[in-house]
Structures are given as structure tokens and as C-alpha cells.
Amino acid sequence: MRVLGIETSCDETGVALYDTSLTGGSGLLADALYSQIAMHADYGGVVPELASRDHTRRLLPLIEQVLNDAKLTRKDIDGIAYTAGPGLVGALMVGASTAHGMARALGVPVLGVHHMEGHLLAPMLEEDAPEFPFVALLVSGGHTQLVEVKSLGNYQLLGESVDDAAGEAFDKAAKMLGLAYPGGPEVARLAEQGNPKRFRFPRPMTDRPGLDFSFSGLKTHTLTAIRQLETSGELNEQARADVARAFEEAVIDTLVIKCRRALDQTGLKRLVVAGGVSANQRLRERLALECEKRQAKAYYPRGRFCTDNGAMIAYVGAQRLAAGEQDSNGVMQATPRWPLDQLAAPSAS
């Protein structure tokens, strides 16, 4: 079964084609992505109306590009999957309407899938894919969650952020430091020059039991530190790097501590890390050390699949369409808020 995947939840237009008769990386026939980062950078964040308009411009040409790369035509598509949520409602509607229009024209099934389930299972696109069950850390601009994954659609939420997501905190810290958007890579680059011993920022919610996260207090602490440096006339380039290093270390320590607790709590030996922040190299190094101590193994999607992409949507949609799922009565889905634990396993699985 060849499934076209469409991702338009926020500021990336992603398209991919996945073949269920193959496995892992072999099943991915082609993928393409257009990022809107440059367009939104002037505003310091995503402008929903601009995002929706750009998805409309980019989506159909990207679909044709993917089909050409795979040396296939629209008639070779057996099903279509699209991101139904969570995300920006206007952006979601672009993908949903395109998917449903194509599916009706081709006479194939269509299914809206969960954006975070896509991130959760993105490592399944790799040759060295994890087996079920595993613990997953989903860490992006909009979400920070720890999930116990028993099988496709069988997810137990272990903990999540009660306020800002880790990626959102990185973006806000970057803005405080006068860095460009998106902030995560910029903070990480500046932190490389920082002195790790100058400042120590709090590791929020690590002094109590549980697996929930909170980064709003850390954001406030960072702003206070910057203002104190400004007042004393010490906010030079080195001081900014030192603050970036302290902030990054605090976020990473918090994520690592919670992952360690989740592995110990579940007794599992596989850890999947996905979402934009999973590309942070310092985070990967620290998690590798923790997994080595526990004879566990960490799994990541390849670099370009850490952020939003069509491949993860094509993969998840392919698994669920193959199990007989599809949008009921041909009704489009666009669900801006959609808790991951509301998902269910396919009835055929």
C-alpha cells in the first residue's frame, strides 16, 4: 500500500510517500519539505495567517515533486494521510482539504492522523528502528511529554509540561538574549562559548517526585539574570554566552533526570527521543551516558525528521490505513487541541 503523507500543522509544509510492502527506511519512497522559518523570522514567531497562505502555495508543487522523485503518478497512490492536529487550525485545514479532495478524485481512503504520534514513531523510519515497548520523550516547540509506548496507539502519558514546552522556552530565552528565531539552535551555538561554572540556573520540578515538567520559572530566572547583568553593565558577549550555557544546561539536566526516572519507573530499556529539541547534541550526549548506565538504548529519527515532516505522517497513516482506519463518512478533521492519550490502537492490530 502506497500512502501519501501531508504535514501542514505549523510552519513546515511536508509531503512524503511511504510503501507498506517495504520496511523502515526502505519503505520511504520519497519526501520533500518546505520550511517557512525565513518568512516568520522577522516576526519572532509563527504568524498563523501567513503560515496558512504559504501552505496553500507550496503543497501541490511538493506533492508533484515527491511523485516525480518516486517515479510514480497520482494513480499509484493507494491512500492519503494528513495531519489532523494538534496545530494551527488554518494550517491544518489546508492539508485536510487537499487530502480529502485528492482522495475523492482518486477513489482512495483518507485519514487524519495525530501530529505527535508522527513524532513518536518517526524513528520507525530508520533501519535501526526500536521495537515495542519503549519510553518516548517528545520534546518540541509545542510539547514536552514522556509517554510509555506499548504498541501502535497504545500510549500511556507519564508526564508533560504544565506550562511552556522546552522548545518554547528555548525560543523565549533566545529572544531575551537578542538571538534569531527559531531559538533552540541559536542558544545551543552561543552556549558553546559559555562558561558552565559562572551561573547555575534551577532544574524545575526535579526536587519532587513525578514526571511532569515546568519551564516558566526557568524562563523568569533567565530574564532576571539578564536584567541584573544589564544593570551592572556586565552584559557583554561573554556574559550572554554564559547565560545561554546555564539555560541550556538547566533544560537538558531536567529532561535527562525525568527520562531516567521514566526508564526506572517502567523498567524499559529503550528510549525514543523525538521532536525539534531532540536534535540538540548536548542532550543526546547526556542521554547516551544515562542509557549506558542502565544498559538501555536511545533511538532518534534522522536529523531532518526531528522537526515537522511529511515522512512521519505518511508512516503513521500507512500503519493505520493498512489496519482499516479512515475518516468516517468522508468528514475532514482539523483538531487544534488533541491530547495524545485520546488515541486508540487500530481495531485490526
Residue 115 known to bind ligand:
yes
Is 308 annotated to bind a ligand? Reply is: yes
| Cell 516576526 -> residue | 43
Beta strands per DSSP E along the chain: 2-7, 12-19, 28-35, 79-85, 110-114, 134-139, 144-151, 154-160, 270-274, 297-299
Is 280 annotated in a binding site? The answer is: yes
The reply, when asked if residue 40 is annotated as ligand binding, is no
Confirm or deny that 110 is annotated as ligand binding.
Answer: no
Is 9 labeled as ligand-binding?
Answer: no
**What strands lie across the sheet with 270-274, from one edge to the other?**
154-160, 144-151, 134-139, 270-274, 297-299
Say whether 62 counts as a known binding-site residue.
no
101 is in an annotated binding site: no
Known binding residue 138? Answer is yes
78 is annotated as contributing to ligand binding? no
Name the burial class of residue 233, with classes exposed (0-12), middle (13-18) and buried (19+) by CB atoms within 10 angstroms of its CB.
Answer: exposed
Nearest to 271 by CA among 158, 152, 147, 144: 147
User: Is 85 annotated as ligand-binding?
Assistant: no
* Rounded Cα gap, residues 261 and 258, in angstroms: 5
Q: Is 347 helix (H, G, I), strand (E, B) or coil?
A: coil
Residues making up the binding site for Fe cation: 115, 119, 308
Residues making up the binding site: 115, 119, 138-142, 171, 184, 280, 308
Residues making up the binding site for substrate: 138-142, 171, 184, 280
